[in-house]
Chain A
Amino acid sequence: MSPPGALGTITRARKSDGAGKLVSLLSPLVAVLAAFLVGGLVVAAIGESPLRFYSVLFRGAFGSVDGIGLVLFNATPLIFAGLAVAFAFRSGLFNIGGEGQLYIGSFVCAWAALKMPGAPAVLLIPVLILASAAGGALWAAIPGYLKARFGVHEVINTIMMNFIAVALTGYLVVEIFKEPGQMTPQTAVIPVAGELPRLAGFFQSIAVPLPNANPLNASFLIALVAVWLAWFILYRTTLGYEIRAVGHNTSAAEYAGINVRRTLVMAMLLSGAFAGLVATNEIMGFRHRFLDNFSSGIGFMGIAVALLGRNSPLGVLFAALLFGVLNTGALEVDIFTDVPRELILVVQAVTIILVVVGNEIVRRRLAGGAQKRRPSKEGLEAS
């Protein structure tokens, strides 16, 4: 499942498999380039200039410090959502419930903040971070438990849990927690002590002119820590070892005395916690309140991010950054070219599909083709 290379094993020094490492680094790059090429053809097909399209797109993303800040800001929730999918995948579970988990995490975060109006920042911020993670973890633990206990497929249950989460938070925010005197289905603003600071001030102090209006906030740093944490849990803890053993070979894990059910539930819990942390960006860092229907599919984008990142934490980081570039650039394209908004979305989606598919093709090519075509046990054994 994992490429030999990028964070593939716990062993510290990995002198060998240089080629494998190269392949796993190179293939996403080649795939991205190919995707841009085909994306360009789509643009040309609708009668626009691909060159102008991409130059506007990249100018939007990289043309200014503000643009780069936006890329990081847009990437932040995707990092959490991607980690959630990737983490569960390591135990062999397909958690497509990130969307529901992040809604619950966000709602719990906002609710907890509103419940603690007088708390100082040193207390409130850690509590809210934990509340976000706990909300997501709880929501993911339910399908995790149903899977471990009754063998019910997690895909069905995570989808259902998504519906429930969106509807439930919608109900709560419209009927019970709506900001008094407002029409918008949103909660009141959380206390300032619960806000994560924006990073503009910090960057300006080191002479990087990130404008004050830029929404990049400390949640991005939390995301970086989360990437490290996911890696650390998977490759440095007994639990992570067991999660990977269960994911790679369940009967070997059973044979080794690993409690498979408990491990699956733990993997889902942690996966949900990563999804719930989306709230640190969306609630604590940006909106400062819970808004009905705010996510528009962050949790689902997380699936693509994880796939592209080949389910490795570092891979998720890079994949999320790529998505951040596309999202940020798309805004600029919308403003400065005549390409209709819908078509920008089409090109964006096509690019993502191509990157994911292309990555797979390129990887197989580079890895020397024929033998990889047999994904059965045969391919695994060298005897």
Chain B
Amino acid sequence: MPEKIAVEMRGVTKRYPRVLACDGVDLSVRQGEIHAIIGENGAGKSTLMKILYGMVRPDEGSIKLNGKPLIGHSASDSIKLGLGMVHQHFMLIDPFTVAENVVLGIEPTKAGLFIDGRAARERVERLSTEYGLALDPDERIENLSVGLEQRAEIVKVLYRGADILILDEPTGVLTPQEVTELFVVLRALRESGRTIIFITHKLNEVIELADRVTVMRDGSVTGVVSAAETTPEELATMMVGRDVLLRVERQEATLGEPVLTVSKLSALGRKGTHVLENVDLEIRSGEILGIAGVQGNGQTELVDAITGLHATSSGSVTLSGTDITNLKPRAIRDLGVAHVPEDRLERGIVPDFSVAENLLLGHHHRAGYSHRGLINVAKMEEHARTLIAEHDIRPADPSISAAHLSGGNQQKLIVAREFDGAPTLLIASQPTRGVDIGAIEFVHTSILKKRDAGVAVLLVSAELSEIMTLSDRIAVMYGGRIVAEFEGGTVSEEELGRYMTGAGDSGDEPVRNRPLDDNSPGQAAAGGEA
């Protein structure tokens, strides 16, 4: 059957001062297919999509949309031509409702003057039911989970009449459940004849969802394969150019003294409700404690409370015997706490700083880098060069601004900075978000190395498989409380999943599969958050 080509990119080249982001890329996407684009960090995937969408102008090459050439188009032209992009960072207005956000810019009006709220709501409802995008049109964006925000973003793109959808790493921020739901939506969209292009680093998603896959490396296409005829291993090899260990080797843990002790820790959120409630945790030297949980159940606040970024209301945090409750972030850092933050753009980097300056963030006041208030620039650069080489940050240029790194390389920069030095407690939130499989392997190995060197590790991840492969113990958070705790390897993904959604929550003491010495039952916590 003759296929219609929805998107045809030929010889697309984009040069940046230090790198050739796209080097004569050909991309051909058939109408009505789900087309995955994969490749290492910095391979040029996002750049290619921004070129297609009209956000970045290519230096060379041609683009055809449904057979018609596109020349010098802008993003607003793209929208008119039925091309929609769901950005990795959502472009929604928080205090507005879902419906208001969706219709923003092309609102249905009454008498051309007043926004027709009801019509807006109806249209949103129609779109969401049609594709299984369950959403409450009257809910404000600020009250939505990340998964629902993404839905709102998809509905917004559909409302604007997109029949080709571009999604840049849509699953990076989602829970496994949300990923499954997203895939149902994407399949429904394909059924309706729409074309979908999505970028991902998760190869099993590619196999599960995509029809065809374009693999990129170093700005060029290394292959186009049909998803049905390939395996994750083969894709990995095409991406990286070598075999990738999809699993890491781990030794038995040798536990030392307790490093982090959190007891009865509670904290209030912005609205005055408990975001953390009587949390008890202990991590020993040489141990990895994984925190599983659906985003927004207190993991962020727990990490922030430990690192001094969120005030606690009661309870205590102790680091190797020192009480660090509500100390200043710098004091806590200086006691040996390293922290990979969950949101790299919000906290992890200063985009306008160079890579070298970013690699110094949080260490910049320490001896060696700072002397009598002066920054030792030579030392800073040397430090940067070492970490860049060690962590394969690309391009390997300490002077380039961090805003110009690809998403995965920004993440590698943060990991490099926080793993450096000799932390006694390493807090890693979503440490592999957005990094390619080669780098995941590297980060995982590094985490295990830290643990084997006696570091206590607190790992927070939305990625259950990451939690399960790395953790010596797993705690599940739900509604600001630890609802269950397991020895690593003794619990199935399904069981964790149940606790994560609150199903196994008795509202009392956490469920533990190992006897705890100082367990004092009967202290019924008020579990009013559910």
Q: Which residues of A contact B (CB under 8 A)?
A: 1-2, 4, 8-20, 235-242, 244-245, 248-249, 251-259, 368-371, 373-374, 376-378, 380-383
Residue of A2, A14, A20, A238 near B364 (CB, 8 A) is A238
**Contact (Cβ within 8 A) A239 B88:** no
The reply on B195 being an interface residue by CB < 8 A is no
**Chain B stretch 369-417: residues in CB contact (< 8 A) with chain A:** 370, 373-375, 377-378, 380-381, 397-401, 403-408, 410
Can you give 7 contacting A-B residue pairs, CB < 8 Å?
A: A11-B377, A241-B357, A377-B345, A380-B345, A381-B345, A382-B405, A382-B410
Chain B residues, CB < 8 A from A245: 350, 353, 361
Q: Chain B residues near A378 (CB, 8 Å)?
A: 87, 89, 91
Query: B330 within 8 Å of A by Cβ?
Result: yes
- Given the interface pairs A238-B373, A257-B328, A383-B408, the reply to whether A371 lies near B55 with Cβ below 8 Å is yes
Q: Which B residues touch A17, using CB under 8 A?
A: 17-18, 399-400
Given contacts A12-B381, A238-B364, A383-B410, contact A252 B350 (CB under 8 A): yes
* B329 lies within 8 A of A381 (CB): no
Please state if A381 and B89 are interface contacts (CB–CB under 8 Å): yes
Of chain A, the residue at the smallest CB distance from B54 is A370
List the B side residues contacting A16 at CB < 8 Å: 17-18, 397, 399-400
Q: Which residue of B lies closest to A19 (CB)?
A: B17
Interchain CA distance A223-B11 in the complex, whole Å = 52
Name the contact of B361 in the complex, choosing from A256, A368, A382 (C-beta under 8 A).
Answer: A256
Within 8 Å by CB of A236, from B17, B365, B375, B381, lies B375
Best-buried of A17, A238, A252, A382 by chain B (most CB within 10 Å): A382
Give the CA-CA distance A239 to B350 in the complex, in Å.
Answer: 16
Distance A236 CA – B399 CA, assembled complex (angstroms): 15
> Given the complex of chains A and B, what is the CA–CA distance between A37 and B256 in angstroms?
75
Of A4, A13, A376, the most chain B CB neighbours within 10 A belong to A4
**Contact of A10 (CB < 8 Å), options: B56, B329, B361, B377:** B377
- In the assembled complex, the CB of B462 is this many whole angstroms from the nearest CB of chain A, namely 17
Q: How far is the CB of B250 from chain A (nearest CB, A)?
A: 29
Contact between chains at A255 and B347 (CB < 8 Å): yes
Q: Which residue of A lies closest to B403 (CB)?
A: A380
Task: Decide if A383 touches B88 in the complex (CB within 8 Å).
Answer: yes
Q: How far is the CA of A239 from the CA of B375 in the complex (A)?
A: 9
Distance of A245 Cα from B349 Cα, bound (Å): 9
Per the bound structure, the CA–CA distance linking A239 and B348 in Å amounts to: 20
- Docked Cα-Cα span, A373 to B334, in Å, equals 40
Question: Which residues of A lie under 8 Å from residue B375 when comparing CB positions?
Answer: 10, 235-238, 240-241
Tell me which residues from 163 to 186 in chain B have a Cβ below 8 Å from any Cβ of chain A: 168-169
Which residues of B pack against A, CB within 8 Å?
17-18, 46-47, 50, 54-57, 74-75, 87-89, 91, 168-169, 307, 309, 328-334, 339, 341, 345-354, 356-357, 360-362, 364-365, 370, 373-375, 377-378, 380-381, 397-401, 403-408, 410, 434
A241 pairs with B364, CB closer than 8 A: yes
Note all chain B residues with C-beta closer than 8 A to A381.
Answer: 88-89, 345, 351, 403, 407, 410
A20 B348 Cβ-Cβ under 8 A = no
Which residue of A is nearest B407, CB measured? Answer: A383
**CB–CB B381/A11 < 8 A:** yes
Q: Give, as a whole number of angstroms, the nearest-CB distance from B384 to chain A.
A: 8
Interface contacts beyond A9-B356, A236-B377, A238-B370: sample of 18 additional A-B pairs, CB < 8 Å, sorted by A: A9-B401, A10-B377, A14-B399, A16-B17, A249-B346, A249-B349, A252-B350, A254-B347, A255-B339, A257-B332, A257-B334, A371-B50, A376-B91, A378-B91, A381-B88, A382-B46, A382-B410, A383-B88
Contact of B374 among A238, A254, A371 (CB under 8 A): A238
Chain B nearest CB: distance from A236 CB in Å?
6
Residues on B with beta carbons closer than 8 Å to the beta carbon of A2: 352
| Cβ B50 vs Cβ A252 within 8 A | no
- Interface contact B362-A257, CB-CB below 8 Å: yes
A233 to chain B, nearest CB (A): 10
Best-surrounded residue of A4, A242, A370, A373 (most CB of chain B within 10 A): A370
Partner of B17, one of A8, A20, A235, A249: A20
Closest to B364 in A: A241
Q: How far is the CB of B423 from chain A (nearest CB, A)?
A: 14
State how many angstroms separate the Cβ of A228 from the closest Cβ of chain B.
15
Contact A258 B55 (CB under 8 A): no
The distance from the CB of A256 to the nearest CB of chain B, in whole angstroms, is: 4
Instruction: Enumerate chain B residues within 8 angstroms of A254, measured Cβ to Cβ.
Output: 309, 329, 347
Q: In the complex, what distance in Å separates the CA atom of A258 from the CA atom of B405? A: 24
Most buried by A among B91, B334, B401: B401
Docked-complex contact A10 and B169, CB < 8 angstroms: no
Chain A residues contacting B362 (CB-CB under 8 Å) are: 255-257
